[in-house]
Amino acid sequence: MSNKPRKVIFDTDPGVDDAMALYFALAHPGIDVVGLTTTFGNVTVEQAAINGLYLTEIAGFHIPVTQGVKTPWLKAPGEPPAFIHGADGLGNLPSRVPTQSKLDPRPSAQFIVDMARAHPGEITLVAVGPLGNLATALKLEPQLPQLLQEVIIMGGTVLEPGNVSPVAEANIWNDPHSADFVFTAGWKLTMVGLDVTHQLVLPSAIFKKLAEHHRHIATDTLLHAVNFYSDFYSGLYSHVAREHGCFGHDVLAFVALTNPELFQTQDGRIRVALDGAGNGQTMMRRRAIPYPQAGWGDDVPDTTVCLQVQADAARTLIESTLMLPWLKK
Ligand code: BDR
Ligand code: CA
């Protein structure tokens, strides 16, 4: 990475691993978070916006936060997974301190378009929720792929089983039509999916150590949320339970930005299954075969898909970045 911090819009549905990712981004000297655009997903969009404002303000940051799409583009809306992230998205916090920040009044998609036009070629979009804001922004501004520097998404899976069906990952499955629109738009696009996020377990002990080190409401909040989230993952996987750990999914999207050398990738065309039992599956063309099936032609751009991660190095990077003196009050 060059010395100049990368301007990033963080599109998010906070969400415990979203909170982890946000704090990693705020702590990392190579990242300048210029806005948070929220979406439905782990919680309703209203709660996502509340959490975005809360998490930034308690850490001492004042960054524009917007509210975005409430529902999927075409699919029927579902219920947020309170059993994974808590009904409030942050592990059911026992209380919150009063805060003052207000939302930027623009819808998330408009904010993305405005920022991309104001800083052509300079903004990276890191999207870690369902992709409705990005799809809406693309409808508002068809030149968006040229205006953004790059897009990195946490979502999808190619070889690893899904987490909402045998083949689908939650962010893509939550809004498959928006995801397919994003995968076929033609940006410089990197997919950080379950193929890599399931390779990295983050023990809750890391977040305890972090809270003891900083002694700050932001890291106490994160620890509470991570403990709830780790209970969920520890109930599901024995190797995760051994460390009372969790998958840090969203934080790996930022690791892919700051340290791409930690990943093995393959480029290929991605399409999303839009209905049936495979709904939300991210299908990848891994060989240059001229298929008779429509939808796989040369008009479909390549996505860079992360398939392997150096898990120990990524875990060390996440921990050491969060230990930096980044909190502002
Ligand atoms: C993704 O779904 C959400 O629950 C997480 O925040 C992450 O973005 C993992 O499938
Ligand atoms: Ca998320």
Q: Ligand 1 centre from 189 Cα, in Å?
A: 18
Q: Ligand 2 centre from 78 Cα, in Å?
A: 16
Sequence-separated (6 or more) residues with CB below 8 Å from residue 98: none
In 3D space, the residue among 149, 182, 133 whose CA is nearest the CA of residue 31 turns out to be 149
Domain of residue 117: give its range.
Answer: 10-322
Residue 270 falls within a domain, yes or no? yes
Residue 33 falls within a domain, yes or no? yes
Q: 195 CB less than 6 Å from ligand 1?
A: no
> What is this structure's pTM?
0.98
Residue 328 falls within a domain, yes or no? no
The residues carrying an active-site annotation are 13, 249
Query: Which residue among 250, 251, 252, 255 is best mutated to probe the pocket of ligand 1, counting the most ligand atoms within 8 A of its Cβ?
Result: 250
Per-residue pLDDT of the chain (329 residues; tens, 9 = 90+): 557 999 999 999 999 999 999 999 999 999 999 999 999 999 999 999 999 999 999 999 999 999 999 999 999 999 999 999 999 999 999 999 999 999 999 999 999 999 999 999 999 999 999 999 999 999 999 999 999 999 999 999 999 999 999 999 999 999 999 999 999 999 999 999 999 999 999 999 999 999 999 999 999 999 999 999 999 999 999 999 999 999 999 999 999 999 999 999 999 999 999 999 999 999 999 999 889 999 999 999 999 999 999 999 999 999 999 999 999 96
Residue 5 DSSP code:
P
Residue 5 falls within a domain, yes or no? no
Residue 75 falls within a domain, yes or no? yes
Residue 279 falls within a domain, yes or no? yes
Residue 327 falls within a domain, yes or no? no
Q: 163 CB less than 6 Å from ligand 1?
A: yes
Atom of ligand 1 nearest to the CA of 128: 8
Residue 1 falls within a domain, yes or no? no
**Total number of domains constituting the chain:** 1
CB-count exposure of residue 133 (10 Å: 0-12, 13-18, 19+): buried
Query: CATH no. for residue 203?
Result: 3.90.245.10
Atom of ligand 1 nearest to the CA of 163: 10
169 alpha carbon, closest ligand: 1
In this structure, what are the phi and psi dihedrals at residue 75, rounded to the nearest 5 degrees? -70, 150
